[in-house]
A and B are shown apart, each in its own frame.
Chain A
Amino acid sequence: MSNGQYNGSGQNEYLKDLYHLNHKISINVSVNSIKISPNGKTFACALSDSTIRIYDLVSGEEIVILKGHTKGISDLEYSPINSDIIASCSDDLTIRIWSIKKKTCLKILKKHTYHITTIKFTSKGNILISGSADETITIWDITTGRTLKTLAAHSDPVSSISLTPDNSIIVSSSYDGLMRLFDLETGQCLKTLTYNSTSHGTATASTNDVLNFPISNVEISPNGKYILSSSLDGLIRLWDYMDNKVIKTYIGIDGKPISEKYNCGTRFITKTMTPMIVSGSESLGLLIWDIQSKKVVYQYQDEAETDGDSQNPVFEVDVSEQGKYLVSCSKNGIINVHELNPKYVKTTPEKIYRDDTPFTPLS
């Protein structure tokens, strides 16, 4: 970094200007989840006061507040094919589908018997998958509002779910310390992964003599080959799930745990020279690692947090345009909108595959 130009090879360097803070919004209610719309124009926040707030991504102004849930909201998700549609899940045992423009709830889905922790749309936007503290995963057909399948997935609350890019596999994580891979179409369990301290991933010992820490979050890599799992032992691990192996382990700054209490979301950033991962944390703010070197390359903490006495866990992060915009939300109700410093943007074009080129029908 002698001339301020990032060359991509200095993997151990700390990049203090990697992101620039565009907006800071403070709302004094715990914000549990945050998502950027697929068209990149708005972002939505799920609040503990049972409201959903939609903001403009560029100006940071509030657009609308959606009210209807009767308890705190854990997660929300935009329809991947229609940025007007949001699905949200709540402790009131319902999933609601909302129209932002109409400011109304279009549909209420009820089935779960305990708090719903996480939801995901398939890329065609017609199927919604929800994970709940009732230990099941439910697959919903949005067009009919019916459940297609309920998977008896885990023996403890389901904390997080993720989908491979081809929508064929659901990856779920749970407080029972397991990650499971399910075939979306058949509902069959394809694989179970657990981290075992003695054998480093490939468990041969009996399950009794290992303590499985709860897994709080899972995220699939952009190519669908790896799983990033956050565990409440304070570490984040990158799994090669075909091989049942952990191939990278990430820790907080100075060996501090990333999170031992809260579910902190993670995302992949691929717009930069070398791919990175970003995660919220319990007391270290927002952290970004270089995937290969496993070194923390960027950290952002709100000023108030640095006092030390009041921790402000960052619950969820989301990126758009492979990481050009980065949003985060926290327990104290602070929402940050970051933008990637253009000098770190990957310049060499990726090999172009047919699915990366914009889709234009034949003329």
Chain B
Amino acid sequence: MNLSLQDPFAVAKEYPETLVNTLQYGHSVIIQFSHKGDYLASGLSDGSIIIYDLISNGGVIAHLNDDCHIRPITSINWSKCGRYLLTSSQDWYVKLWDLNRINRNDDDERDDNEVDDDDDEGSPVIRSVKFDGPIWMTSIHPTDYFKFTASLFDDSPVFVDMTDKDDIKITRLQTTPLPEQQEIEAAEGGDNEADEEDIKRRKKNDKHMTLVTTFTPNDGGYIFTGTSKGWLNIIKTSNLKLIHSIKVTNSNIKNLIISPNGRKLAINASDRIIRQINLPDLINDEDPDEWEFEIDHKYQDMINKLQWNSVTFNHNAEFLVASTYGQSSHDLYVWETSMGSLIKILEGSNEELVDVKWNYSRCSIGSTGLDSGAIYIWSIQFPQKWSSLAPDFVEIEENIEYEEKEDEFDIINEDTLKKKREEEEDLLVDVITKEKDDARGFDITQSSFVIPINYYDNDLFI
């Protein structure tokens, strides 16, 4: 509601311009904003997780350090409702946290609806999966927080269903792209003379790894994966079959970002180019042969030939932001995606920035510093209007000649004045119905989980 009282020109700005805050609590390596944009989770290099409340300008709400990871965090995912957090780490574990179980006092009485999950001594980690190596990253299913995909170090990517705690189902996903598979099959079916070639190819294929995975937004109908040889694979979530493969580049795919509205895909590869692709309508058009993936724009730094560390879209995919590799560059680049032009370089940090995330509804960008592990937040600053300090002040562009109103000094009879007021007040007032959108057009009816606070014992923070 505060936005509707702010300067409309400042509210209409679509990307942040000013570094407003630096959060430093431990060495942050990865960050993620909650879907509603009111919390920020920060994964630390020691394997614990900090949750900040953004309303109070970065007050720490919780430090998850019991049952936590023991090596740097590699990815953090929030569930839509804001109650669950999925984290992965270099310590080979993926954990699902129930934030309703943190900051609990031992003799706190539990609400009645929580009785169902009070088995193992109320640990906030409600699911935990161990793999055979470090985890590159995980991606949570948009509608079911018990399901996720993960890309693993030196191993096939997996789809995991943790719904049943005692029977966690792990399904391996294919890395070999469809055309190559067909070749292999053809070779196997052929004569013996093809064997040698086949073996060679297989050896080569052994080193073909999936590095990133992500679900399509909204319904999570497809899983997009990116490989070390520049292939983009599309897997149908319902049967986990590889249905489409596209060769995008020849180098590693480092990031695969689908915009929240599902329209655009950004592929950051180690050939120093970010490719922006317009996605086909994956929900209504189910035939993979009909899909076209045409590269809309390529973003690269022609002069410095910078690598991009990390990249992300804003909510409607109109803007793209990327962090840059190297000690010499400390900036974030913001592009406008329809023309592909660079519109802003966000400065202010004095170190290389690694992870970058866009907080959609609050219109701010967060990024982690490589050396200090601090989190930098860029946001839109609203000018203080001095006219708001008194009811009879008005801000004007230039001097204006004051013209006396016709009735300005008329003496009005008390009774007629009273009557006029009575008439003015004779209207229906609705004190109950709430606004559904804020001044930026975001849905504000969405309720979100409120993380409990430890009122009793705050030694941690003192």
Give the Cβ gap from A191 to chain B, nearest Cβ, in Å: 5
Contacts of B338 in A (CB 8 A): none
In this complex, the member of B3, B4, B6, B425 whose beta carbon has the largest number of chain A beta carbons within 10 angstroms is: B425
Query: Do B450 and A355 touch (CB < 8 A)?
Result: no
A249 CA / B445 CA spacing, docked (Å)? 31
Q: A207-B390, A226-B431, A362-B145 are in contact. Are A249 and B450 (CB under 8 A)?
A: no
Contacts of B434 in A (CB 8 A): 165, 222-224, 353, 355
Give the Cβ gap from B208 to chain A, nearest Cβ, in Å: 35
Q: A225-B431, A248-B429 are in contact. Are A85 and B455 (CB under 8 A)?
A: yes
Interface residue tally on B, bucketed by range: 35 or more
Residue B449 at the chain A interface, CB threshold 8 Å: yes
Contacts of B462 in A (CB 8 A): 144-145
Query: Do A207 and B427 touch (CB < 8 A)?
Result: no
A189 CA / B80 CA spacing, docked (Å)? 33
Number of A-B contacts (CB under 8 A): 182
A206 CA / B60 CA spacing, docked (Å)? 46
Query: Do A361 and B449 touch (CB < 8 A)?
Result: yes
Query: Do A294 and B425 touch (CB < 8 A)?
Result: yes
Query: Do B6 and A190 touch (CB < 8 A)?
Result: yes
Residue B24 at the chain A interface, CB threshold 8 Å: no
- 8 Å CB interface, A259-292 against B: 268, 270, 275, 291-292
- 8 Å CB interface, B442-457 against A: 444-447, 449-456
Query: Do B5 and A191 touch (CB < 8 A)?
Result: yes
Q: A79-B455, A359-B449 are in contact. Are A192 and B388 (CB under 8 A)?
A: yes
Query: Do B391 and A143 touch (CB < 8 A)?
Result: no
In this complex, the member of A141, A143, A148, A191 whose beta carbon has the largest number of chain B beta carbons within 10 angstroms is: A143
Give the Cβ gap from A158 to chain B, nearest Cβ, in Å: 16
Residue A242 at the chain B interface, CB threshold 8 Å: yes
- Which DSSP category, helix, strand, loop or mixed, fits chain B's interface? loop
Residue A124 at the chain B interface, CB threshold 8 Å: yes
Query: Do A205 and B392 touch (CB < 8 A)?
Result: yes
Residue B203 at the chain A interface, CB threshold 8 Å: no
Of all chain A residues, the one with the shortest Cβ separation from B362 is A185
Query: Do A223 and B59 touch (CB < 8 A)?
Result: no
Residue A66 at the chain B interface, CB threshold 8 Å: no
A157 CA / B384 CA spacing, docked (Å)? 24
Q: A144-B462, A355-B447 are in contact. Are A106 and B5 (CB under 8 A)?
A: no
Query: Do B389 and A189 touch (CB < 8 A)?
Result: yes
A121-150: CB near B (< 8 Å → 1, else 0) gives: 011111100000000000101111100100
Residue A113 at the chain B interface, CB threshold 8 Å: no
Contacts of A207 in B (CB 8 A): 390, 392
A224 CA / B3 CA spacing, docked (Å)? 13
Instruction: Choose one: B57, B61, B435, B436; the contact of A143 (CB below 8 Å).
Output: B61
Q: A164-B1, A362-B144 are in contact. Are A184 and B55 (CB under 8 A)?
A: yes
